[in-house]
């Protein structure tokens, strides 16, 4: 059970103390307080852990300082969307709002290679009004002899260039806790010209120690990719690991499933789960069309498969698109064949805008239908 407090109730207030004293008398229940510090206000929630079935929700709801009481199901206690749950779905990071009703495109390099390529990419993003990108510095590779990413050495110039072109958030995979320290150090050294969203890749979705580490820090939000060979439920539980350690700023990423049933796509596209994840949890949902499709193949109508699956996900309400671009894909050190060209950026963004517009119209029609047919 979660007791959501009124916005102005702080931990040091008498109302809070009295409420805690009351709740702590309940037998077999332990209390855990979570504070969400936002730009405008701090939201405080008290988690009642244990067998809460005997507690009277309405009694607690009438106590001073209580805004609402949410009975939670067993699954995804923190990130889940529970019965009657009207808590917010998102968060703001470095001036960018992420929620289940926003949409951001993170176009960029799968792997950072040269300063020239990074600059060309960021310049193009700035020219198209984009403030987010992807830049891989640590690359988990199948083959030990493949390029593993430039690591810490590229971070200062990548961050400087991001600052130069007004990039506010860089999605960057980490595979080890030392990478978190290296990112912090490089940001400090460069005066934090940009922000970083820590990406946990599909190979690490169930690396529970890494999940706990990114969960214990509050500086960076986390993009957790779905595990490519596990159930959706298992991946959602992995996200809950991060939240249970204290960091709720988690975005869930769909990136396709590993099976040859999806051939000739690199992975079986799983974007039908966009609305499912939004229904089961309060996380914004990201899709990665590049690692799902894995090629620049296009249909007889001229539309790239990468664009098709992106549009399908956006038309279904996706909140973030993580997509590989490269100014010279033939020179890319990782995943060149699936990279879109800078000349395609405008067209790609316009195509997304069409799909987003369709989604907004569909959601309005659905809301109107429900208004008149509410059961």
- Euclidean distance between CA atoms 226 and 198, whole angstroms: 14
Least Å distance, CB 200 to ligand PEP, is: 8
Least gap, CB of 133 to ligand PEP (angstroms): 12
Residue 201 as a binder of ligand PEP (CB under 6 A): the answer is yes
Q: How far is the CB of 356 from ligand PEP (least distance, A)?
A: 22
In the complex, least distance from residue 110 CB atom to Mn ion, rounded to whole angstroms:
4
Q: Does 227 bind ligand PEP (CB under 6 A)?
A: no
Nearer to ligand PEP, 173 or 351 (CB): 173
Q: Does 282 bind ligand PEP (CB under 6 A)?
A: no
225 contacts which partner out of Mn ion, ligand PEP, none, CB within 5 to 8 A by kind? ligand PEP
- Find the helix packing angle between 305-315 and 345-373, rounded to 10°: 30
> Which residue's C-beta sits nearest to ligand PEP?
201
Distance (Å, rounded) from C-alpha 304 to C-alpha 45? 46
Residues at the contact surface with Mn ion, assessed by CB under 5 A:
110, 335
- Please pick, from the candidates 82, 248, 255, 273, the single residue that binds ligand PEP as defined by CB under 6 A: 255
Tell me the closest approach of the beta carbon of residue 133 to Mn ion, in angstroms: 14
Answer for which of 291, 325, 342, 348 binds ligand PEP (CB under 6 A) is 291
Name the packing angle between helices 177-190 and 208-216 (round to 10°). Answer: 30
Q: Tell me how crowded residue 42 is: count the other CB atoms within 10 A of its CB.
A: 14
The separation between CA 213 and the C-alpha centre of its own chain, rounded to angstroms, equals 16
Q: Which of 65, 90, 108, 136 binds ligand PEP (CB under 6 A)?
A: 136
Taking CB under 6 A as the criterion, the residue among 109, 110, 238, 320 binding ligand PEP is 110
Size of the site for ligand PEP (CB under 6 A): 9
Minimum Å distance from CB 367 to ligand PEP? 33
d(CA 340, CA 288): 13
Specify the 3-state DSSP secondary structure of 167: coil
* Cβ atoms of 323 and 103 closer than 8 Å: no
Choose between 106 and 359: whose C-beta lies nearer to ligand PEP.
106
Q: Kindly state whether residue 202 participates in binding ligand PEP, applying the rule CB under 6 A.
A: yes
Helices (H) and strands (E) in the chain, counts: 11, 14
- Minimum gap (Å) between residue 139 Cβ and ligand PEP: 7
339 close to 290: Cβ distance less than 8 angstroms = yes
* Contact between 222 and 197 (Cβ < 8 Å): yes
In the list ligand PEP, Mn ion, none, the entry touching 202 (Cβ below 5 to 8 angstroms by class) is ligand PEP
**Positions of E strands within the chain:** 2-5, 29-37, 42-50, 66-70, 91-93, 96-98, 104-108, 132-134, 169-173, 195-200, 222-225, 250-254, 285-287, 320-324
**329 touches ligand PEP by CB under 6 A:** no
> What does the radius of gyration of the chain's CA atoms come to, in whole angstroms?
22
Residue 79 contacts ligand PEP per CB under 6 A: no
Positions that interact with ligand PEP (CB under 6 A)? 110, 136, 173, 201-202, 225, 255, 288, 291
């Amino acid at each position: 059970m979660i007791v959501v407090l009124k916005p102005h109730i702080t931990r040091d207030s008498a109302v809070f103390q009295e409420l805690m004293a009351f709740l702590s008398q309940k037998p077999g229940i332990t209390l855990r307080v979570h504070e969400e510090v936002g730009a405008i206000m701090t939201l405080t929630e008290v988690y009642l852990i244990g067998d809460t079935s005997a507690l009277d929700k309405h009694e607690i709801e009438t106590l001073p300082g209580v805004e609402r009481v949410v009975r939670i199901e067993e699954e995804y206690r923190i990130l889940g969307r529970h019965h009657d749950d009207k808590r917010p779905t998102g968060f703001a990071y470095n001036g960018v709002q992420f929620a289940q009703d926003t949409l951001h495109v993170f176009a960029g390099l799968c792997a950072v290679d040269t300063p020239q390529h990074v600059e060309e990419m960021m310049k193009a993003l700035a020219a198209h009004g984009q403030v987010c990108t992807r830049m891989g510095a640590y690359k988990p590779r199948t083959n030990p002899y493949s390029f593993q990413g430039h690591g810490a050495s590229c971070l200062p110039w990548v961050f400087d260039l991001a600052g130069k072109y007004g990039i506010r958030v860089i999605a960057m995979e980490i595979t080890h806790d030392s990478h978190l320290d290296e990112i912090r150090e490089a940001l400090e050294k460069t005066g934090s010209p940009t922000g970083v969203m820590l990406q946990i890749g599909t190979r690490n979705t169930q690396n529970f120690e890494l999940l706990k580490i990114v969960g214990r820090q509050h500086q960076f939000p986390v993009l957790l990719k779905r595990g490519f060979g596990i159930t959706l439920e298992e991946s959602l539980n992995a996200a809950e690991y991060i939240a249970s350690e204290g960091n709720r700023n988690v975005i869930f990423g769909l990136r396709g499933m590993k099976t040859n049933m999806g051939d000739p796509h690199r992975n079986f596209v799983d974007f039908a789960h966009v609305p499912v994840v939004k229904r089961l949890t309060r996380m914004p949902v990201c899709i990665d069309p590049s690692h799902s499709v894995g090629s620049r193949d296009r249909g007889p109508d001229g539309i790239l498969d990468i664009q098709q699956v992106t549009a399908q996900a956006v038309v279904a309400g996706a909140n973030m698109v993580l997509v590989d671009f490269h100014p010279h894909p033939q020179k890319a050190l990782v995943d060149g064949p699936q990279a879109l060209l800078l000349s395609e950026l405008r067209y790609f963004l316009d195509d997304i805008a069409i799909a987003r517009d369709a989604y907004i119209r569909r959601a309005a029609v659905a809301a109107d239908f429900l208004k008149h047919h509410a059961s």
